[in-house]
Structure 1
Amino acid sequence: MVHDVRGREGPGVVTRRALLVGGAVAGPLFIAVALVQGAVRPGYEPLRHPVSSLALGPGGAVQVVNFLVTGALYAGLAVGLARAPRPAGTSRARAVLIGAAGVGLIGAGAFRTDPVGGYPPGAPDALAGYSTAGALHDAFSVPVFLAVPAAALLHARARRREGDGGWAVASAGCGLVVLAGFGAASAGFGQHPALVDVAGLVQRLSLTAGFGWLSALAVQALRQPASNVPR
């Protein structure tokens, strides 16, 4: 049982809530750490360079840990959401997609990106080809920018069917911002002249939209009555 006869929360509920709390704080923590690093790192231009480039050069281990911790927290969020009572019409695929994004962040931390945009100082704007680590980093990063918006759009459809227009619009908007930002930032990091100088900013806006939606989703799940959790 979730509750004992005195109405106290059982260990399963406590664990679920801890996973949801971790998911709620994961995004703000990731963004805050990246912003601080970007502001103090010599030669790094936050408006121009990707967040992943913070894993390169002196102090790069901080960003590696940032990826790993955030990925683990989002993997935990996926488990917490799978155990939590779901709003009517919500698919379990939502939790699977969020879990995929968590694994993607862990992989992005395990494999460092290639230099781009002249960072670290002395590196060319673009390399002739990928290193193995750089290719794996990019492959693991894809679920972050595709699985999160897919989960948001699934949630938007479910909420619209249930008449929850506010959540539907917010979820769809965040999902579309992530997708559009991913495309624009990728073009900028590929040295598209119109986007190269703002690619880092666009990527950060995309991440903020996606991670902000995940935090809101976790908070919503935390507000669900614990007594509704299936045994």
Structure 2
Amino acid sequence: MASAAPTCDPATRVTRSLLGYGIIAGPFYVVVSLVQALTRPGFDLTRHEWSLLATGPSGWIQVVNVVMSGLMVVAGAAGVRRTGLKWGSVLLAGYGIGLVCAGVFAADPADGFPLGTPAGRATSVSWHGMLHLVVAGVGFLCLIAACFVLARTVLPWFSRITGVVFFASFAGIASGAGNVALNLAFTAAVVLASVWLSVVSLRLYRGEAR
């Protein structure tokens, strides 16, 4: 008689389902953003931050992308909490909420995008543009802190490196927006952080702490 296939209890299935959202959140965000960056007229990856994709007639696509990605990060954070990593999950949830709010409060058009926008940085910032900067900044700080907190348990070196790289690139883009090197570095850091979140969620999904 064949043995029954191994099963997991309901609580474990819920935890794994939540962690599954953490696995796909980063790739989802990166792929949807890159497809738009490569297809929307006037968008230049060397000069424009992905947040600008939320502006213009097709901006709703990026708004949905950011909000959905943020909600998936929050779900993944709930899964992380169920593994016993309380503070790491709180910080990841802060990052996810920051993404959701950054999607709701869209950035202002700038630096020639969308087409028809004057070149250079905007001389004035709208209320929603200001809120976008604030909530995105808070969310990114939560992500950086999560990297260092989770480094004590999950992928120590990868987590710390991701935290350092993201902090450096975030500081650079905050002080020199529009600079090609800084913009590309920040884009690379976003991709790295997305990979980190996926790998951490996958390790926890498999029950592998380190």
Q: Distance in 1 between matches of 2:176 and 2:31?
A: 23
Q: Distance in 2 between matches of 1:118 and 1:45?
A: 10
- Counterpart contact for 1:75–1:102, Cα < 8 Å: yes
Q: Distance in 2 between matches of 1:121 and 1:146?
A: 31
TM-score, structure 1 normalization:
0.82
Q: Which residue of 1 aligns with 2:135?
A: 140
Post-superposition Cα deviations, 1:118-162, rounded to whole Å, max 9, x if no partner, equal: 211232311222101101111110133211111111222x24xxx
Q: Distance in 2 between matches of 1:10 and 1:154?
A: 28
Q: Which residue of 2 aligns with 1:197?
A: 180
- Counterpart contact for 2:32–2:65, Cα < 8 Å: yes
Runs (4+) of structure 1 moved beyond 6 Å?
A: none
- Counterpart contact for 2:111–2:122, Cα < 8 Å: no
Q: Which residue of 2 aligns with 1:112?
A: 106
Q: Which residue of 2 aligns with 1:39?
A: 38
- Counterpart contact for 1:188–1:197, Cα < 8 Å: no
SS at match of 1:141: helix
Q: Which residue of 2 aligns with 1:181?
A: 169
Q: Which amino acid aligns with 2:15?
A: R
- Counterpart contact for 1:94–1:154, Cα < 8 Å: yes
Q: Which residue of 1 aligns with 2:192?
A: 209
Indicate how the Cα distance of structure 1 residues 40 and 150 shifts in structure 2: closer, same or farther if over 3 A, else same. same
Matched, 1:151 2:139: no
Q: Which amino acid aligns with 1:33?
A: V
Q: Which residue of 2 aligns with 1:52?
A: 51
Q: Distance in 2 between matches of 1:14 and 1:22?
A: 13
Indicate how the Cα distance of structure 1 residues 201 and 177 shifts in structure 2: closer, same or farther if over 3 A, else same. same
Report the identity percentage: 32
Alpha-carbon deviation of 1:200? 3.3
Indicate how the Cα distance of structure 1 residues 29 and 74 shifts in structure 2: closer, same or farther if over 3 A, else same. same
Matched, 1:123 2:111: no
- Counterpart contact for 2:70–2:95, Cα < 8 Å: yes
Residue correspondences, number: 203
Indicate how the Cα distance of structure 1 residues 199 and 59 shifts in structure 2: closer, same or farther if over 3 A, else same. farther
Q: Which moved more, 1:12-21 or 1:25-34?
A: 12-21
Q: Which amino acid aligns with 1:141?
A: A
Post-superposition Cα deviations, 1:165-193, rounded to whole Å, max 9, x if no partner, equal: xx22211101001001111122332x4xx
Gaps in structure 1 of 5+ consecutive residues = 1-5, 226-231
